[in-house]
Structure 1
Amino acid sequence: MMSIISGLTRFVCCRRVAFICAILLVPAAQLWSGEDLPPGPDNPRSIAAVRLEGGESIRLDGILDEPAWRQATPATDFLQQDPDEGEPATERTEVFILYDRDNLYLGVMLYDSDPDGIIAYQKQRDARINTDDRFLWILDTFLDGRTGYFFETNPAGVMSDGLLGGGGGGGGGGGSFRFPVNKSWDGVWEARSTRGAYGWSAEVRIPFRTLNFDPSLDTWGINFSRTVVRKNEESLWNGYRRNQGIFEPVHAGRLTGLQGMSQGRGLEAKPYAVGGWRNMPEEEDPTSLPTDAGLDLTYSVTPSLRAALTVNTDFAEVEVDRRLVNLTRFPLWFPERRDFFLEGSGVFGFARSRNMNPYLSRRIGLVEEEPIPITYGTRLAGQTGRYELGFIQVRTGRHRTVPTEDFTIARVKRSLFQQSSIGVIYTRRATGSSDENPAPPDRHTQGFDLDLKTSRFLGDKNLEFQAFLVWHTDPVRNDGILSFSRDFGSHGVTLGYPNDIWNGRISYSEFGADFDPAIGFVRRNGYRELSPRIEFSPRPRSIPAIRQFMFDLDIEYLTDLANRLQTRRIDLGLFGIRFESGGFLSMGAVQLFEHLEEEFTIHEDDVHGDIVIPEDDYSTLGWFLRGRSASRRPIAGDIEINSGQFWSGHRLGYELGLMLRPYPGVSLGGEVERNDVSLLEGDFATDLFRLTSEWHITPWISVTGSLQYDDVSEIMGLYAKFRWIIRPGSDLYFVYTHNWLNLDEQPLRFDLTTNSQGVASKINYTFRF
């Protein structure tokens, strides 16, 4: 097998081959477009929105008792996606839609033959409510089959939302073969739910000001999905097949009859004020009382294109990152949590490469995870015709040794055919002078990506092709934004077949020796990679307790730019089982070869000395076991064990997680991660602990907290937050943080001293005009 992979790599390594692949695939427009094909096996259903007239109004209480609801014809007759694809849903659902000049209203009746069996643990805004019975829906406001808004609620009235982009998520009612939902987006809308002997019901109001849309359209895409969690049942109104799903706007139904909607003047002002107390014992002036104020402005240039301005931006309420222990020689990636960079972020998404992104917003306003003040920022995001546009300009202030910097990001995507797109991206990072150094040359990055998709391959199967090309200027000398050097460039292609029973892809990419985009992310450079993957997931009908088996093979084959083997990873999933209860179990083996050209420090120890892995070739074999119980239960857990050869020795690692939900809205969680490593160069262990607690008094008032410790940083961190959603878009926060440094060098012993401590209060209020 290794000789075959090596031969394939040498063959693919020629850039002409990748170029020829693209040339051959692009003219196959009929395959990707589907313009002359019928709408598909689902034949989109439609539902008419009824306009409220005169003094009619909806009182949002979850009870559909207003006469107006009886004027609407409901969407019903949902079909199962799981467990019995295409069969009628076992519980009846009815969806009614009304609207007036300013708002869209949904009324939902979710009948249940066992109302006492309804599950609703979650009360947190934007919670992952796959633990609960839930109702989900999407709105494709441009009827383009590729972008949209996602919403969901549960019997407790939780509001969770997100953005769909680049073709959605697809496959599996709550899962994703492709793009997941960007759930960090928080729209301004309201939902109320109530329960009764019939089951449960919900009323929803979505202001049109919250949505970007094309006012010339009287029809939108819309789809609905329902989860009955005790049955582990997912049903949909449209696009019920497992290769489709709620997150694929192209398979949505139609919402008709829309006209005369208003976004008002399109202006939204959100001032904020923050005050607090901070204690930094190591600084010359350890105690301070910081206060600040700022403003966020949003303006709808058109109903589908929004501009934003933020002045003196503050992120006091942003939650701390989850601690991670890194035993590799490459950097880790952390998700964005700041609202300014999350709003409209879908348009900035670039070709899907797990090892590279030309734009990573966490490179702005953060240095070694320490916040840098943002003086101002501007953003333009939205659509016009067949184009998606995105622009960001941010200036960060001087902070300690970090000089003032300006960041520019521009992105344009044009839709192709029915589900595809082509795009370009440009970034610029301009660093000012410091006391010691003059200003370096501006750093420019350019990129191109192509994304071809069809959901009608071989009738009803998904097929994807992606290609990208990125390059940047020499960071030392200013050689012009259009100059191209192989050392500062990267490119790649991927062919994917993301479907339910058979799921596979093959990708090739190359990264220059000095490739390092200034506002981007790259795990390593100076290599070529060939990565094939295949998964077979049959659904046995003869074993009632098992919903699906999974067997997979994932290979990474990396060479340097002279085609010398650097890394070969063969990940073999011996078996995976998805149980009907919602639990999961898998086991596999990993064979790894690493050619280490430079030594690296895997463990720092001030007492016994650092442990350094020397240059050499390393071939190892290990195994893993992973499992989790059904998340719908009041006590749920997960486990992962990794064992086997590791560099010059052996490693045993395990992760254990436990979640308790004694009452609706209350959860207590604990996680433990430990690695015992024994090497020829020395032995060491790492420990990480995490405790979390949440008390959601109502969907509008909550108290959350976390306590984390790892013995690599030797920092114990406490984070606690009170949040009151005064009304959608307006919040009051109280945040307390406390970080301690552990001075005791002995494992699992503590001699704590305060490293930093702070209290912050913040209020923001949204005014809409």
Structure 2
Amino acid sequence: MGKTVRNSWFILVAVLLSLPAWGQKINEDYKLHIKRASSSITIDGIVDEQAWKDAEVAKDFYMILPMDTSFSQVETEVMMTYDEERLYLLVINHHAVPGPYYVESLRRDFSFGKNDNFLLFMDTFDDQTNGFSFGANAAGAQWDGIMYEGGKVDLSWDNKWVSKVKNYEDKWVFEAAIPFKSIRYKKGIREWGINFSRLDLKTTEKSAWAPVPRQFPSASLAYTGVLVWDEAPPEAGMNISIIPYAMGGRVKDHEGGLPTDYQNRVGVDAKIAISSSLNLDLTVNPDFSQVEVDRQITNLDRFELFFPERRQFFLENGDLFANFGYETIRPFFSRRIGLNAPIQFGARLSGKINRDWRIGAMNMQTGQVEETLTPSQNFTVMAAQRRVGQRSNIGAIFVNRASIGEVPGVNGTDATVTTDYNRNLGLEYNLASSNNLWTGKAFFLKSFSPNQSGESLVHAANLKYTSGNLTWEWKHEYVSPRYTAEVGYVPRNGYYRINPNTAYLFFPDSKKILRHGPTINSSLFYNMNWEQTDNITELGYTMRFRSQSNLTARYAYNRIWLQRPFDPTNFSGDTLAAFTNHTWSSVGMEYVSKPQSLFTYSLSSQYGGYFADGERFNFSGELGYRFQPYVGLTLTGNYNQLDLPEPWGDTRFWLVGPRVDVTFTNTLFFTAFAQYNEQIDNINLNTRFQWRFKPASDLYLVFTDNYLPAPFYVKNRTLALKFTYWWTL
């Protein structure tokens, strides 16, 4: 079997490399001409300027959902113009049926499916791979993100622009001004890829100006039309932004009995445009105290959990570094930097150097921490992508972590010089056919460390086909036992994995059901001797209603041959022995309510076997109520009941998280949430006040507490006040 699978790996790579990845742009006949503004424009949501009367109108949108075979019943009109400094957008969103709009709140970067909204997708290099997205919901909350991999949007990206939404009885109008300095684009190019997306929850209709097949998101850059400029977009000119901050706060560790630590720091970030498409980011003494704490989850996994990066500095063009490999095979994961040591300074150069080449280089320096005997460390990451065909690319990455100077001594002993390092070198091919039906990836990784012995390689590949009804994928991985990625996320070593999956959707002629169909996913793991260690196979049936609610039923089969001791509760400290077999089945159900209601909910339940011939019952859910658009109340809960033999016995624990989200305006926010995690015996309370007094300039007040539940005792407490100002030269 080993030889057969190894041969299939090389066959799959050959298929990836030979599949057509180029062709005529699908929606190139959809053109919107943009010309310089004939008058000044005030961003007020009122259509009274001469410039809008003279602008060409994009209308006659196509329906994506519930069906993609007709024009939209909801009328939308879009106009664009520009001056020397800004790109302007005006959208008239007409109502198809009477009634109020539906939104969550005025919170920036809202959830797409829970808000009446309009979104703009711009492919400023016309490469159908990278771009920018801007938009708003019907109450005026802003949306902005950086686009990557042909249709994904990273909403953590944040930049300077202004907008206004004004509501009328029969429509809502969205007007925006986006500075050319806030985006990146190729100098001299006169055609951008562009598309407009509209979601109207009253009619449950999603539409786009340039048609997009229903199996793809409206953000798919493969299906953009063309924005035709009357002349090349103006150069942004000198584009330097200085973003200083000042932070004051206090940290009190009651559990450790330490004195109060008063923290007063200042630092600065800078953004320097080397060209209209290449940017240099600098940071000195950065602080991330305003970043919201991670949402806790019940951990019954055998391997390390993944939590996404939230720090702004690492986000622009972050996909160049972070998306190399797979979700569980990442040679670079930026959260490893500054995890247990302060970042002193850093620099990152990233962006396009021409239509075909995209590059990234980052260097970060952290300080020494005597308490944990951690030396100063330097992190260097370099990446490059070369476009192949129309939408595919070949990428390379180099990651290096090196200890600098000396390791602090213990109890007054002399420090020792360190030569510790870990390096990764990788090469990958990303396939994306011109119509997006075929996607895939193949990559190789090699790690280097002092005194490393044995093979330290990774190779993996996948090929995916997505049509209107059928989706199937073949994926396999190999991670050698000696492979290490200390600045990455690779929770598991020493395995082969085969992961086929498929789904088929039916689209009935029904007034209630939009689509339904079966899914199957099988994940098979083998050790280095090709002995199967894991078989996780899941059968499912999903149904999506026209109201946009969802119902899913699942059956799962698990067979686990433990390769090392494991505590099935991740709680007691008692472990199952290595090289023991465990087999069980389970069934589950999940329902997500329609997003139009002021009261929304989702419920999920699972019941079946577990390790050591035990049983597991899980119930989780989320309840939400909104007083739109100002207040959102949410309660999440997760309950696990594990019935196991001794020494574990019956184990039950809750994870409960109430949350209050108040958006006074679209620039003034207050959030408070608590997390009670019975598994780790902790209550976390986090409150955050944010005032965006100018675009991308903020004042934060953040308060965080951790408590021991019984008795109710403060473990530690943090208070931080932070001021940031975005100053553009």
User: How does the TM-score come out when normalised to structure 2?
Assistant: 0.95
Percentage identity across aligned positions? 27
| 1:619 Cα offset (Å) | 1.1
Distance 2:167 2:98 in 1: 8
* Alignment CA distance shift 1:500-1:403 (3 Å): farther
Distance 1:12 1:189 in 2: 55
Distance 2:258 2:538 in 1: 53
Does 1:86 find its partner at 2:61? no
**2:422 equivalent in structure 1:** 443
Give runs of aligned pairs for residues 152-231 of structure 1, distance below 5 A: 152-168=135-151, 180-231=152-203
Give runs of aligned pairs for residues 290-689 of structure 1, distance below 5 A: 290-367=263-340, 372-385=341-354, 386-399=356-369, 400-401=371-372, 402-432=374-404, 433-436=406-409, 438-456=417-435, 462-474=437-449, 476-477=450-451, 487-541=455-509, 543-573=510-540, 575-603=541-569, 610-615=573-578, 616-648=580-612, 649-681=614-646, 682=648, 683-689=650-656
| 1:509 Cα offset (Å) | 0.8
Structure 2 unaligned blocks of 5 or more: 410-415
Question: Is residue 163–residue 346 contact of structure 1 (8 Å, CA) maintained in 2?
Answer: no
Does 1:763 find its partner at 2:726? no
**2:94 equivalent in structure 1:** 111
Question: Is residue 122–residue 158 contact of structure 1 (8 Å, CA) maintained in 2?
Answer: yes
Structure 1 unaligned blocks of 5 or more: 1-6, 169-179, 480-484, 743-749
Question: Is residue 193–residue 225 contact of structure 2 (8 Å, CA) maintained in 1?
Answer: yes
Determine helix, strand or coil for the equivalent of 1:640: strand
Judge which range, 523-532 or 428-437, deviates more: 428-437
Question: Is residue 322–residue 333 contact of structure 2 (8 Å, CA) maintained in 1?
Answer: no
| 1:82 Cα offset (Å) | 0.8
Distance 2:87 2:594 in 1: 35
Question: Is residue 305–residue 384 contact of structure 1 (8 Å, CA) maintained in 2?
Answer: yes
**1:45 equivalent in structure 2:** 30
Give runs of aligned pairs for residues 57-72 of structure 1, distance below 5 A: 57-72=40-55
Distance 1:349 1:442 in 2: 20
Distance 1:100 1:224 in 2: 21
Distance 1:383 1:556 in 2: 37
Does 1:279 find its partner at 2:252? yes
Distance 2:468 2:58 in 1: 27
Deviant stretches of 4+, over 6 Å = none
Distance 1:260 1:241 in 2: 31
The amino acid that maps onto 2:267 is G
Question: Is residue 28–residue 226 contact of structure 2 (8 Å, CA) maintained in 1?
Answer: no
Does 1:19 find its partner at 2:10? yes
Distance 1:596 1:630 in 2: 41
The correspondence for 1:123, drawn from 99, 103, 106, is 106
Question: Is residue 511–residue 525 contact of structure 1 (8 Å, CA) maintained in 2?
Answer: yes
Distance 1:486 1:285 in 2: 45
Question: Is residue 377–residue 392 contact of structure 1 (8 Å, CA) maintained in 2?
Answer: yes
| 1:365 Cα offset (Å) | 0.8
List per-residue Cα deviations over 1:157-176 (Å, max 9, x = no partner).
111111111222xxxxxxxx
The amino acid that maps onto 1:19 is F
* Alignment CA distance shift 1:580-1:263 (3 Å): same
Distance 2:593 2:718 in 1: 38
| 1:423 Cα offset (Å) | 0.5
Judge which range, 678-687 or 724-733, deviates more: 678-687
Question: Is residue 239–residue 245 contact of structure 1 (8 Å, CA) maintained in 2?
Answer: no
Distance 1:155 1:208 in 2: 25
Distance 1:627 1:93 in 2: 32
Does 1:253 find its partner at 2:236? no
* Alignment CA distance shift 1:431-1:497 (3 Å): same
Determine helix, strand or coil for the equivalent of 2:153: coil
Question: Is residue 115–residue 196 contact of structure 1 (8 Å, CA) maintained in 2?
Answer: no
The correspondence for 1:32, drawn from 21, 27, 36, is 21
Question: Is residue 164–residue 346 contact of structure 1 (8 Å, CA) maintained in 2?
Answer: no
* Alignment CA distance shift 1:282-1:45 (3 Å): same
The correspondence for 1:237, drawn from 196, 205, 209, is 209
Question: Is residue 114–residue 199 contact of structure 1 (8 Å, CA) maintained in 2?
Answer: no
| 1:26 Cα offset (Å) | 2.1
| 1:329 Cα offset (Å) | 1.2
Distance 2:261 2:222 in 1: 54
| 1:359 Cα offset (Å) | 0.6
Distance 1:656 1:21 in 2: 40
Give the alignment's Cα RMSD to 1 decimal: 1.7
Distance 1:620 1:466 in 2: 33
List per-residue Cα deviations over 1:4-29 (Å, max 9, x = no partner).
xxx5xx34442x5423432354245x
Question: Is residue 161–residue 186 contact of structure 1 (8 Å, CA) maintained in 2?
Answer: yes
**2:673 equivalent in structure 1:** 706
Distance 2:286 2:255 in 1: 26
| 1:500 Cα offset (Å) | 3.2
Q: Number of residues paired by the alignment?
A: 714
List per-residue Cα deviations over 1:120-163 (Å, max 9, x = no partner).
33201112142121101111111111111112211211111111
Question: Is residue 497–residue 505 contact of structure 1 (8 Å, CA) maintained in 2?
Answer: yes
The correspondence for 2:125, drawn from 142, 151, 168, is 142
The amino acid that maps onto 1:70 is K
Determine helix, strand or coil for the equivalent of 2:407: coil
| 1:118 Cα offset (Å) | 2.1
List per-residue Cα deviations over 1:439-492 (Å, max 9, x = no partner).
143211001110112144xxxx60123101011013x42x7xxxxx76311101
**2:413 equivalent in structure 1:** none
* Alignment CA distance shift 1:352-1:235 (3 Å): farther
Distance 2:96 2:516 in 1: 30
| 1:679 Cα offset (Å) | 1.2
**2:412 equivalent in structure 1:** none
Judge which range, 515-524 or 283-292, deviates more: 283-292
The amino acid that maps onto 1:560 is N
* Alignment CA distance shift 1:586-1:373 (3 Å): same
Determine helix, strand or coil for the equivalent of 2:181: helix
